[in-house]
């Protein structure tokens, strides 16, 4: 029987009313339902921050990890069980700050996971400090005279490192974000989805109206070629990063596990023969356990 949105509901989210993470959560749930993937076939690994709560709010297997360490856990889980659909989720501080080194090597390895980053241009859980993506000059609680650093360009960085799937969505356009997430999950290899997810409490300046008025949708441009990495770099530069859609996809990308001829296709749990009852009892007894 096909999964429904109800199957993908779990705890009631405690995000602030209007938080963009609600839209991202719904987009992920809808994408999994549309792809007819059962909840037990999915693992969601999250980091720390407002976005880190998402693994508790979706009815799949979940792992709530450490700040910036989402990708090592997600990659390990996928390599341990290639049958799992593995989604890593986090925030821009989590992924582009403390976790940026792991992002570099996740792209290089091309493990078949989807990484969805909820980007609100601020550290929201800690009440509004400058983040790696905060524009230079913006006043925040940690930069009362304006943020002095230049922001990182996560999509430009991913393209420069040779990522096989690079996209950007918007929590205020859930239908489009659903299509992007579905394509990312289908992609064979590492897929990065930067999802603008406004923080209406601590960064209202970077809100829904601001983004709706500025985002350029490459998926609606009939002349745009998503298989051209240089075209993706150009449009990012021309639009100041304010683009929406699938910027680049390499259909010839080879996932990490498929590049290893010695890598067994079946997960370890399927390769190990079950113990007979007498042996199982003996093992338990050696630990002082009886059953």
Q: How many CB atoms lie within 10 A of CB 32?
A: 28
What SS3 class is residue 184? helix
| Cα 117 from Cα 70, distance rounded (Å) | 11
Q: Are 137 and 147 contacting, i.e. CB atoms less than 8 angstroms apart?
A: yes
Structure tokens at 262: 């010695």
| Cα 34 from Cα 170, distance rounded (Å) | 19
End-to-end CA distance of the chain: 35
| Cα 40 from Cα 38, distance rounded (Å) | 6
Q: Are 184 and 114 contacting, i.e. CB atoms less than 8 angstroms apart?
A: yes
| Cα 106 from Cα 126, distance rounded (Å) | 27
Rg (CA), the chain: 20
Q: Are 174 and 180 contacting, i.e. CB atoms less than 8 angstroms apart?
A: no
Question: Where exactly are the structural domains of the chain?
Answer: 5-260
| Cα 134 from Cα 137, distance rounded (Å) | 9
pLDDT in tens, the chain (291 residues): 689 999 999 989 999 999 999 999 999 999 999 999 999 999 999 999 999 999 999 999 999 988 889 999 999 999 999 999 999 999 999 999 999 999 999 999 999 999 999 999 999 989 999 999 999 999 998 999 999 999 999 999 999 999 999 999 999 999 999 999 999 999 999 999 999 999 999 999 999 999 999 999 999 999 999 999 999 999 999 999 999 999 999 999 999 988 988 887 787 667 777 778 898 889 889 998 876
Q: Is 133 exposed, middle or buried (0-12, 13-18, 19+ CB in 10 A)?
A: buried
Sign of the Cα torsion 226, 230, 233, 234 reads negative
Q: What is 5-260's CATH number, 3.90.1260.10, 3.40.50.970, 1.10.3720.10, 1.10.1040.10?
A: 3.40.50.970
Torsion angle of the four alpha carbons 115, 105, 82, 263, in this order, in degrees rounded to the nearest 10? 170
| Cα 107 from Cα 155, distance rounded (Å) | 12
Angle at 156 between CA 153 and CA 159, to 5 degrees: 145
Residue in 189, 158, 193 with CA at minimum distance from that of residue 179: 193
pTM: 0.91
């Amino acid at each position: 029987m096909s999964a429904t949105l109800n199957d993908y509901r779990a705890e009631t989210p405690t995000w602030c009313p209007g938080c963009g993470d609600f839209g991202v959560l719904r987009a992920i749930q809808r994408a999994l339902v549309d792809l007819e993937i059962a909840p037990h076939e999915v693992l969601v690994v999250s980091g720390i921050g407002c976005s880190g709560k998402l693994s508790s709010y979706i009815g799949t297997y979940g792992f709530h990890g450490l700040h910036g360490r989402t990708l090592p856990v997600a990659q390990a889980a996928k390599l341990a069980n290639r049958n799992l659909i593995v989604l890593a989720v986090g925030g821009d501080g989590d992924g582009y700050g403390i976790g940026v080194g792991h992002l570099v090597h996740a792209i290089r390895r091309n493990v078949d996971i989807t990484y969805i980053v909820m980007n609100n241009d601020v550290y929201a859980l800690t009440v509004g400090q400058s983040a790696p993506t905060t524009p230079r000059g913006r006043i925040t609680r940690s930069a009362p005279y304006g943020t002095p650093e230049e922001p990182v360009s996560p999509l430009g960085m991913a393209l420069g490192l040779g990522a096989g799937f690079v996209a950007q969505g918007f929590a205020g356009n859930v239908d489009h974000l659903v299509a992007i997430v579905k394509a990312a999950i289908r992609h064979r290899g590492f897929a990065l989805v930067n999802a603008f997810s406004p923080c209406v409490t601590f960064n209202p300046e970077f809100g829904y109206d601001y983004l709706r008025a500025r985002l350029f949708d490459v998926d609606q441009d009939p002349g745009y070629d998503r298989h051209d990495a240089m075209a993706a770099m150009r449009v990012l530069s021309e639009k100041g990063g304010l683009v929406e859609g699938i910027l680049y996809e390499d259909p010839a990308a080879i996932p990490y596990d498929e590049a290893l001829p010695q890598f067994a296709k079946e997960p370890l749990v399927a390769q190990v023969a079950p113990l007979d009852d007498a042996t199982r009892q003996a093992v338990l007894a050696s630990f002082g356990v009886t059953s």
